[in-house]
């Protein structure tokens, strides 16, 4: 398939020729649907799903991607670009690497080729099924004059080249009011959108060009290629003094940025900026930075722990991690939310809210005073850290509370924490705190936690249970687990509410909140139980059990035969090496079996399951799931919901279960079972067996000798290359054999059947069927009821079966039997054999020297052109030879009584009555003629041919000859 996307020219006020072209019958009509009102607001998942699947389905195609694994390599060739084009293309590729983990490696023979020698900007891809074979990208170097939009264009076109569509069913001239697919379709959601932030009236965002893929793009590309685990995995700084080389990570002014970060203790640093920042550290929320609105967002699965802002009046929202937030100058507002946060308002009269968890409010200088702390709670474990403040004022005492350096002063609705001086300084107003509260409980002059007892001495099958106290009383001694006695050991963090990043390997430390946890050399922990936050857990070489608990977790089995349990939340699990079991639990999960013979269970929610290498078993569970096999003999079961199942190499079994499912075979001899619902089944290479089950199904064979069974419902079945077997089952079906020598059974119902190319065997079954043999020497049977059969090209054998059938032999030397019923038969060209069968039939020989037998019933027979042999058969038949030298045959006395409309004596036509002599006194027709046993009697304008078989005067009427007079001489020239 070749798809072209001609990108929009920003100098136009209306989008121009942005059309899609296709070589695989994808629709090319891209007008809108008049949907200005009542548009749905899409979730990020819905927008991402439209980018990967919905767009292509709207165009009549299917999801597509390069056949590479998570973190795989795609080769690129940028030699066709000038210097600026090369640099910009590399920046755009780096933007996609940052969110997908894909490695783009330059090569002269590449999977993705760039050029700038055509006008405009577009991408095109050659595909085979769901696999992209190669992609081409062209961006005219004249677009370098468009400034920042030049990079955005490259990011957009590379998105197409990797498998993303647009965010709506548009591809050419488009306006939001007419062509938008969902209410929040804009550049703020996806770089694949046609609509900038200002063109969408539903989006509260400034118009800025994009320097990265956006949140829906990030989720979409990870849906196609997996989620990288090493993206910015260290302690990353975004903004001032960034430690990344990727363009845009310094958070420049006037650009739209989305951040994806796998791990580490990360910071957004806007300390040098003077604008009023609104910064939200929660994933999938928008922030307003550098004086713009809605121009920064944090992608799903990303946790930014720390933030710094500058001299503006800033509004900062923390997340559930242990945040360290420093607001700088200005009258700022900080909301810490969950976790043990450290909040520093900086200079200005700030409003600080710690949220849940024991928070620290820090003061560094006297200029930091004048704040309001809205929810200070000793019960929650809140403290005010004045250690740096005391150092800044040169405090030389030992107890600033006892000597009155800090004290509480009553206020309305709370108390002021005061710093004695000349004059005294109001540090913070503590809402709801009485002035009689112990100041020693409120302030920390040094933050030095006491030692926690060392964990118990290890024993076989030891359970190491840690709680939130680990972060409060952490020190270098209690931060290590050492266990060398073997056994099945468990690290139990199920009661921890902070975000945990735990590695059971000994070479890297983990984290509980912001505190590190080490596992000593020689220690093997087999099991890991995580808590309620969005945790990350890594196994080791042992057979691990990792339970994510609540929250949206990421679990990595690594080596060994592991069991990964997602629990509640939108989880991701990666089996790694070994024969693993992955259970997503509730909500929307992504499971990757990777190496080994794995078992993947989606459970509740809309799940994505990727088997990886090996013979895998996958079960989608409830709701609408997507299951992808890889190499190996895999078994995929969709379960409830409208599921998508894709086989790959190996002999796979795909069972859609309940719902309207889509099943795609891969290479190998696959079995596809649609189950209940209106299902879509497509074969591929190999001898596939596809059984649709109940519902109105669509089945498409692939290469190989396939078996297609529609089951109950009104089904559509199409064969392909190979000798296929198609069975429609009950109800009104449509069956097409396509290439190969196919066997087609319509089953019950009024079916439409076409054998297409090849020597096919077709049985219409019960019902009023329409059957077309098409090219090849076909065998066709209409079965019960009133059928329509057409042989078309080839030497066909056609049996109408019971019922009043209509049959056309068409081209080729055909053998046709009408069967029971009052049939209409037209033999067609060439020398055909026609038998009307029982019933009052209408038979037309058409061209060619035909043999036509009316058989039982009162038939009407027309030989058509050619020298035909016509047998009326039992009953009183009406016979017409038409053009050509025809012969009319009477096989027995039961055949007499016919009318011949155009018998021509003297032109070579004959009446064959030799069979009537059986039982007579005559040995030959000549003897009977000589003896006068045959004679003509006047009958209207013609005559009746009579025969006295025994000379006794008991003559029978053989036939009426409407063109022969009674005085015509009977000779052996025409009566034989």
**Local confidence band at 456 (pLDDT 50, 70, 90 cut-offs):** very low
In a domain? residue 672: yes
pLDDT in tens, 353-392: 999 989 999 999 999 999 999 999 999 899 999 999 999 9
For residue 311, pLDDT beyond 60: yes
In a domain? residue 896: yes
Whether the CB-CB separation of 207 and 252 falls below 8 Å is answered with no
Q: What is the CATH number of the domain that holds 71?
A: 3.40.390.10
Task: Domain of residue 956: give its range.
Answer: 890-961
Whether the CB-CB separation of 933 and 871 falls below 8 Å is answered with no
For residue 19, pLDDT beyond 70: no
**Cα–Cα distance measured from residue 930 to residue 417, given in angstroms and rounded to the nearest whole number:** 145
**Cα–Cα distance measured from residue 117 to residue 379, given in angstroms and rounded to the nearest whole number:** 69
DSSP assignment string, 491-536: EE-TT--S-EEEE-SSSS-EEETTEEEEE-TT----EEE--SS--E
**Cα–Cα distance measured from residue 840 to residue 875, given in angstroms and rounded to the nearest whole number:** 9
Q: What is the pLDDT of residue 476?
A: 58
pLDDT in tens, 112-149: 999 999 988 999 999 999 999 999 999 999 999 888 99
Q: What is the pLDDT of residue 472?
A: 64
For residue 31, pLDDT beyond 70: no
**Cα–Cα distance measured from residue 63 to residue 422, given in angstroms and rounded to the nearest whole number:** 72
Tell me whether residue 78 is exposed, middle or buried, using C-beta atoms within 10 angstroms of its C-beta: 0 to 12, 13 to 18, 19 or more.
buried
Q: What is the pLDDT of residue 473?
A: 62
For residue 455, pLDDT beyond 90: no
In a domain? residue 389: no
In a domain? residue 947: yes
Give me the mean pLDDT over the 308-325 stretch: 96
Neighbours of 826 (CB within 10 A): 20
Q: What is the pLDDT of residue 484?
A: 75
In a domain? residue 278: no
The alpha carbon of 708 is separated from its chain's Cα centroid by a whole number of angstroms, namely: 23
pLDDT in tens, 689-745: 999 989 999 999 988 899 999 999 999 999 998 899 999 998 999 999 999 999 999
For residue 217, pLDDT beyond 70: yes
Mean pLDDT computed over every residue of the chain: 90
**What DSSP designation does 95 have?**
H
**Cα–Cα distance measured from residue 931 to residue 926, given in angstroms and rounded to the nearest whole number:** 9
DSSP assignment string, 539-568: --SS--EEE--SSS-EEE--SSS-EEE--S
What is the number of domains present in the chain?
3
CA angle 502–504–506, rounded 5-degree value: 115
Dihedral of the alpha carbons of 96, 102, 105, 108, in degrees to the nearest 10? -90
For residue 3, pLDDT beyond 50: no
Whether the CB-CB separation of 72 and 103 falls below 8 Å is answered with yes
Q: What is the CATH number of the domain that holds 664?
A: 2.160.20.160
pLDDT in tens, 248-285: 999 999 999 999 999 899 999 999 999 999 999 999 99
Give me the mean pLDDT over the 464-490 stretch: 77
Q: Name the domain boundary from 659, 674, 691.
A: 691
Is 587 annotated as catalytic? no
pLDDT in tens, 559-610: 999 999 999 999 999 999 999 999 999 889 999 999 999 999 999 999 989 8
Percent of the chain with pLDDT over 70: 94
In a domain? residue 449: no
**Cα–Cα distance measured from residue 350 to residue 345, given in angstroms and rounded to the nearest whole number:** 6
**What are the CA-CA distances from residue 834 to residues 763, 768, 819, 851, 907 (Å)?**
19, 21, 11, 6, 24
Q: What is the pLDDT of residue 39?
A: 92
Task: Outline where DSSP puts E strands in 653-709.
Answer: 653-655, 662-664, 671-673, 680-682, 689-691, 698-700, 707-709
pLDDT in tens, 657-670: 999 999 999 989 99
Whose CA is closest to 580, among 565, 561, 566?
561
Q: Catalytic pick from 157, 619, 623, 768? A: 157
Name the residue with higher pLDDT: 877 or 19. Answer: 877
Neighbours of 971 (CB within 10 A): 11
Q: What is the pLDDT of residue 254?
A: 93
Q: Name the domain boundary from 657, 691, 725.
A: 691
Based on its alpha-carbon atoms, the radius of gyration of the chain, rounded to whole angstroms, reads: 42
In a domain? residue 490: no
Q: Name the domain boundary from 210, 226, 254.
A: 210
The alpha carbon of 939 is separated from its chain's Cα centroid by a whole number of angstroms, namely: 77
**Cα–Cα distance measured from residue 454 to residue 441, given in angstroms and rounded to the nearest whole number:** 26
For residue 35, pLDDT beyond 50: no
In a domain? residue 921: yes
**Cα–Cα distance measured from residue 653 to residue 669, given in angstroms and rounded to the nearest whole number:** 9
Q: What is the 3-state secondary structure (H, E, C) of 314-382?
A: CEEECCCCCCEEECCCCCCEEECCCCCCEEECCCCCCEEECCCCCCEEECCCHHHCCEEECCCCCCCCC
First to last CA, the chain: 67
Q: What is the pLDDT of residue 36?
A: 43
Q: Which of 4-8, 338-342, 930-934 has the lowest mean pLDDT?
A: 4-8
**Cα–Cα distance measured from residue 117 to residue 143, given in angstroms and rounded to the nearest whole number:** 12
Q: What is the pLDDT of residue 367?
A: 94
Q: What is the pLDDT of residue 610?
A: 87
pLDDT in tens, 498-540: 899 999 987 678 889 888 888 888 889 999 999 999 999 999 9
Q: What is the pLDDT of residue 28?
A: 24
Give me the mean pLDDT over the 435-446 stretch: 90
Phi, psi dihedrals of residue 780, rounded to the nearest 5°: -130, 140
Q: Which of 103-107, 471-475, 766-770 has the lowest mean pLDDT?
A: 471-475
């Amino acid at each position: 398939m070749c798809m072209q996307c001609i990108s929009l020219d920003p100098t136009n006020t209306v989008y121009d020729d942005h059309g899609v072209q296709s070589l695989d019958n994808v629709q090319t009509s891209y007008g809108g649907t008049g949907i200005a009102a009542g548009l749905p607001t899409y979730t990020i998942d819905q927008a991402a799903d439209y980018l990967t699947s919905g767009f292509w389905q709207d165009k009549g195609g299917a999801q597509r991607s390069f056949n590479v694994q998570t973190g795989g390599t795609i080769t690129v060739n940028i030699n066709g670009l000038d210097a600026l084009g090369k640099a910009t293309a590399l920046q755009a590729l780096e933007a996609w690497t940052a969110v997908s983990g894909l490695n783009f490696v330059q090569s002269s023979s590449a999977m993705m080729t760039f050029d700038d020698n055509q006008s405009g900007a577009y991408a095109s891809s050659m595909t085979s099924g769901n696999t992209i074979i190669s992609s081409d990208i062209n961006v005219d170097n004249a677009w370098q004059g468009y400034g920042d939009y030049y990079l955005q264009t490259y990011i957009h076109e590379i998105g197409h080249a990797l498998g993303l569509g647009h965010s709506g069913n548009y591809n050419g001239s488009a306006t939001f009011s007419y062509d938008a697919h969902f209410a929040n379709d804009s550049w703020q959601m996806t770089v694949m959108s046609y609509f900038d932030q200002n063109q969408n009236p539903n989006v509260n965002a400034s118009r800025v060009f994009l320097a990265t893929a956006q949140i829906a793009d990030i989720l979409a590309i990870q849906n196609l290629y997996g989620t990288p685990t090493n993206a910015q995995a260290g302690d990353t700084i975004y903004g001032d003094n960034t430690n990344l080389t990727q363009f845009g990570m310094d958070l420049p002014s006037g650009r739209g940025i989305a951040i994806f970060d796998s791990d580490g203790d990360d910071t957004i640093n806007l300390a040098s900026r003077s604008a009023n920042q609104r910064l939200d550290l929660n994933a999938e929320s928008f922030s307003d930075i550098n004086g713009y609105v809605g121009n920064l967002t944090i992608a799903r699965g990303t946790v930014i722990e720390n933030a710094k802002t500058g001299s503006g009046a800033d509004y900062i929202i923390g997340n559930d991690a242990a945040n360290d937030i420093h607001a700088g100058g200005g009258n700022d507002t900080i909301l810490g939310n969950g976790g043990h946060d450290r909040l520093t308002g900086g200079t200005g009269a700030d409003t600080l809210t710690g949220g849940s968890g024991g928070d620290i409010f820090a003061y560094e200088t006297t200029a930091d005073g004048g704040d309001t702390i809205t929810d200070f709670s000793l019960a929650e474990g809140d403290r005010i850290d004045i250690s740096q403040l005391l150092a800044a004022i040169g405090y030389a005492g030992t107890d600033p509370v006892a000597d009155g350096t800090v004290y509480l002063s009553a206020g309305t609705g709370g108390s002021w924490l005061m710093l004695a001086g000349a004059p005294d300084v109001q540090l913070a107003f503590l809402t709801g705190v009485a002035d009689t509260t112990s100041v020693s409980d409120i302030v920390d002059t040094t933050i030095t936690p006491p030692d926690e007892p060392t964990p118990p001495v290890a024993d076989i099958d030891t359970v190491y249970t840690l709680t939130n106290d680990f972060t409060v009383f952490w020190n270098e001694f209690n931060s290590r687990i050492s266990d060398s006695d073997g056994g099945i050991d468990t690290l139990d963090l199920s009661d921890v509410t902070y975000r945990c990043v735990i590695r059971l390997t000994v070479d890297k430390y983990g984290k509980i909140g912001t505190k590190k946890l080490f596992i000593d050399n020689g220690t093997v922990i087999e099991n890991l139980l995580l808590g309620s936050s969005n945790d990350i857990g890594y196994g080791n070489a042992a057979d691990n059990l990792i339970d994510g608990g609540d929250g949206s977790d990421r679990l990595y089995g690594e080596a060994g035969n592991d069991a990964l349990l997602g629990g509640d939340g939108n989880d991701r699990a990666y089996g790694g090496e070994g024969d693993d079991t992955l259970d997503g639990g509730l909500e929307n999960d992504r499971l990757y079996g990777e190496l080994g013979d794995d078992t993947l269970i989606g459970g509740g929610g809309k799940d994505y399951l990727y088997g990886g290498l090996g013979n895998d078993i996958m079960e989608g569970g409830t709701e609408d799931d997507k299951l992808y096999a890889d190499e190996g003999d895999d078994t995929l079961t969709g379960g409830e919901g409208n599921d998508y199942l894709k086989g790959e190499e190996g002999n796979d079994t795909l069972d859609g279960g309940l719902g309207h499912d889509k099943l795609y075979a891969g290479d190998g001899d696959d079995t596809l079972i649609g189950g209940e619902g209106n299902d879509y089944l497509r074969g591929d290479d190999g001898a596939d067996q596809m059984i649709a089950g109940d519902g109105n199904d669509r089945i498409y064979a692939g290469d190989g000798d396939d078996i297609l069974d529609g089951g109950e419902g009104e089904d559509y079945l199409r064969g392909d290359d190979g000798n296929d077997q198609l069975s429609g089952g009950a109800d009104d079906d449509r069956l097409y054999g396509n290439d190969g020598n196919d066997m087609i059974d319509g089953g019950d119902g009024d079916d439409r059947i076409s054998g297409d190319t090849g020597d096919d065997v077709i049985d219409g079954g019960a019902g009023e069927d329409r059957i077309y043999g098409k090219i090849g020497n076909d065998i066709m049977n209409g079965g019960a009821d009133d059928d329509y059969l057409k042989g078309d090209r080839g030497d066909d054998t056609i049996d109408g079966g019971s019922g009043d059938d209509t049959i056309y032999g068409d081209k080729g030397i055909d053998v046709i039997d009408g069967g029971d019923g009052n049939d209409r038969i037209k033999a067609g060209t060439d020398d055909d054999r026609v038998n009307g069968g029982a019933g009052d039939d209408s038979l037309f020989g058409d061209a060619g020297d035909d043999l036509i037998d009316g058989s039982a019933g009162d038939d009407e027979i027309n030989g058509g052109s050619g020298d035909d042999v016509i047998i009326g058969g039992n009953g009183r038949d009406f016979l017409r030879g038409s053009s050509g030298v025809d012969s009319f045959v009477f096989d027995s006395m039961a055949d007499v009584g016919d009318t011949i409309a155009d018998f021509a004596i003297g032109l070579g036509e004959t009446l064959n009555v030799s069979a009537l002599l059986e039982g007579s006194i005559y040995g030959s027709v000549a003897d009977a003629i000589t003896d006068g046993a045959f004679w003509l009697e006047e009958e209207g304008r013609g005559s009746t041919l009579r025969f006295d078989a025994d000379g006794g005067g008991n003559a029978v009427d053989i036939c009426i000859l409407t063109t022969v007079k009674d005085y015509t001489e009977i000779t052996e020239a025409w009566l034989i």
